[in-house]
Structure 1
């Protein structure tokens, strides 16, 4: 895989979104910003949100929706890498936000569900009905872990529901091409979950003790981060420690790994006329790469 360096010196980039004009939006979690890189130009800050903006998605109204973890990491600088550490004692929780790209106005849509505070919202994906699935990664300290969940919400702020029981560390989320399945990458298990969708916001558990189907578990120390889906259904998951992208075949459970020169490769998105341009966030080294993907990515329901 040949990588083109698009930008560097970024403050833990995540959540890339390919735009129609050739630019790429992304978050800088450590910097608390939504940023943009246009072809041939320097990075620019689109909005300063504070906290820890993580995932991004264009909604049905053309606005940008943000999963903000509320600053759920202390940051460690070690061996030339930026590493997210335990949650600081000041962390109270995160939020779902809406950013108007024309005016810069930010609105907080959700901070809780059924009276329970959102802990560390992480990633999101919109369905054809105009609602969105999102993961709450939870948070961890040196002594304990607060588990996360998969949620579903509407972009007008009127409805939010918990779709699964608590999960260890849900991270990336994506939909199958037919939108019958929602995939969730569980970071510390190295596991890709598949949840069968009954209706928006409702998934079918496998059993009383199995919240969903297991596509595959990675061997050894390999953590999973955010993901994107190919047009034919493969699920591409950014992989930590064994830095790169792991491609899961949801039908066979088989995997393929493509290396990226950063042990904290966190996300990717697809774009371009043929959906074979891929932008990859190499967060530990603060870089954004571009490459040509071997197969087309799945076009998202809403774009701008």
Structure 2
């Protein structure tokens, strides 16, 4: 119908927008809805980062530390016909998700997603790259201990997963042996840096 669906992180909702300026809230998720995509089941899949404390600077809201009402990050599924929000996933390998950020489906319907981690007043939880096979109820960690995993995407042949690490200004690439299986790389990182910015720009 020509509409576009967006997340409004600070308002904690998912909104449909039309070209004539009309908007409609599809669902109130709470937390901080971040990346979203339409899944193979026709539903909206959402990375919910759990929310932020915001600071206003020059008319912009800048996300910062973890809010007092934070109850963890999660992957959610929204039924587009009803707006019902379902929590699909909030732990991986026994570890709670901190701040899921972005997601991408491959052609088979498997899901790759990033967790940005979470910032507190005196420390920061690291993030990583994760995989949920289509139809599975449990995800697995592909690689971890990155400063701030953000956007994620697949190469056209789906043989490589790309991940942006915001605060370090780096783009990582992870070569795949098969869906959800990374080829052996450096003993310290599962991927390789394919782009970086001078002076830690991002």
Instruction: Tell me the TM-score range normalised by the shorter chain.
Output: over 0.9
Deviation by residue 1:76-122 (Cα, 9 ceiling, x = unmatched)? 11221111111124423111011010122221110101111000000
* Larger relative contact order (Cα-Cα within 8 Å, sequence gap ≥ 6): 1
Distance of 1:157 and 1:209 partners within structure 2: 29
Q: CA deviation at 1:159?
A: 2.8
Is 1:160 the counterpart of 2:139? The answer is: yes
SS of the residue aligned with 2:2? coil
Q: 1:150 aligns with which of 119, 129, 138?
A: 129
Q: Which runs of 5+ in 1 are unaligned?
A: 1-20, 224-304
Q: 1:138 aligns with which of 95, 117, 136?
A: 117
Distance of 1:220 and 1:198 partners within structure 2: 34
Q: CA deviation at 1:155?
A: 5.0
Q: Is the 8 A contact 2:133 2:180 kept in 1?
A: no
Is 1:26 the counterpart of 2:2? The answer is: no
Number of equivalent positions? 202
Is 1:196 the counterpart of 2:157? The answer is: no
Q: Is the 8 A contact 2:31 2:70 kept in 1?
A: no
- Which residue of 1 is the match for residue 17 of structure 2? 37
- Which residue of 2 is the match for residue 118 of structure 1? 97
- Structure 1, 61-70 or 209-218: larger mean CA deviation: 209-218
Distance of 1:152 and 1:186 partners within structure 2: 17
Q: CA deviation at 1:156?
A: 3.9
Is 1:62 the counterpart of 2:31? The answer is: no
Distance of 1:113 and 1:83 partners within structure 2: 28
Distance of 1:165 and 1:82 partners within structure 2: 28
Q: Within 5 A, what are the aligned runs for 1:175-254?
A: 175-223=154-202
Q: Is the 8 A contact 1:69 1:94 kept in 2?
A: yes
SS of the residue aligned with 1:220? helix
SS of the residue aligned with 1:35? strand
Deviation by residue 1:46-93 (Cα, 9 ceiling, x = unmatched)? 11111100010011111110000111x101112211111111244231
Deviation by residue 1:215-260 (Cα, 9 ceiling, x = unmatched)? 111112422xxxxxxxxxxxxxxxxxxxxxxxxxxxxxxxxxxxxx
SS of the residue aligned with 1:163? strand
Runs of 4+ more than 6 Å apart: none
Q: CA deviation at 1:143?
A: 1.3
Q: Which runs of 5+ in 2 are unaligned?
A: none
Evaluate the alpha carbon distance shift between residue 181 and residue 126 of structure 1 in structure 2; reply closer, same or farther with a 3 A threshold: same
Distance of 2:43 and 2:116 partners within structure 1: 23
Distance of 2:189 and 2:80 partners within structure 1: 40
- Which residue of 1 is the match for residue 80 of structure 2? 101
Root mean square deviation, CA, Å: 1.4
Q: CA deviation at 1:41?
A: 3.1
Question: What TM-score does the superposition give when structure 1 sets the normalisation length?
Answer: 0.64
Deviation by residue 1:111-154 (Cα, 9 ceiling, x = unmatched)? 10111100000000001121110000001123111000100013
Q: CA deviation at 1:170?
A: 0.4
